Amino acid sequence: MSAWEAQVARVDTEHGDRWVAWRDGGVVAVGRTRAEAARRARAAGAGRVVAGDPGRVPAQPDWTLLPGGFRGRALRACHGLAFGEVITYAELARRAGSPRAARAAGSAMAANPLPVVIPCHRVVRSDGGLGGYSAGGTAAKRRMLRTEGVLPPRG
């Protein structure tokens, strides 16, 4: 695949500022700093990263850069979760077409390359616990769910 150009801009989200990198196909990287988003965009294949207009950031991930198979289906199912909607890893697995793959759903969320864009913080354990959050730990996951007005019973 040949290198392409990505744009990067700071975006104010309901969970604080994030730097988002994108190309015509959609979002390719997210970071807490410009440097982090640019580094991740280059790792995804961008040859050049330039300043972009925050008002032009797409809402969709660039699905062509994300994995296929169950992991890709789990990421797509998670992307469809609405603000304030919380589901379990088991439910995510069911929505992704593999109802017995709750652990695999957890692994897919742990490897989510686009946190906030693909809101993996909205997926929790069946026992009511938060589960992990690779983009800032359980304290960040708890804070994000509270911001959305939801928190599991054992949160």
Among 9, 114, 120, 130, which one carries the catalytic annotation?
120
Q: Treating both helix axes as pointing N-terminal to C-terminal, what angle do 102-110 and 69-79 enclose, rounded to 10 degrees?
A: 80
Strand partners, 29: 21
Distance CA 55, CA 110 (A): 29
Q: Degrees (nearest 5) of the Cα angle 79, 39, 83?
A: 20
Active site residue 120: yes
Residues 113, 74, 118, 5, Cα dihedral to 10°: 50
Catalytic annotation, residues: 120
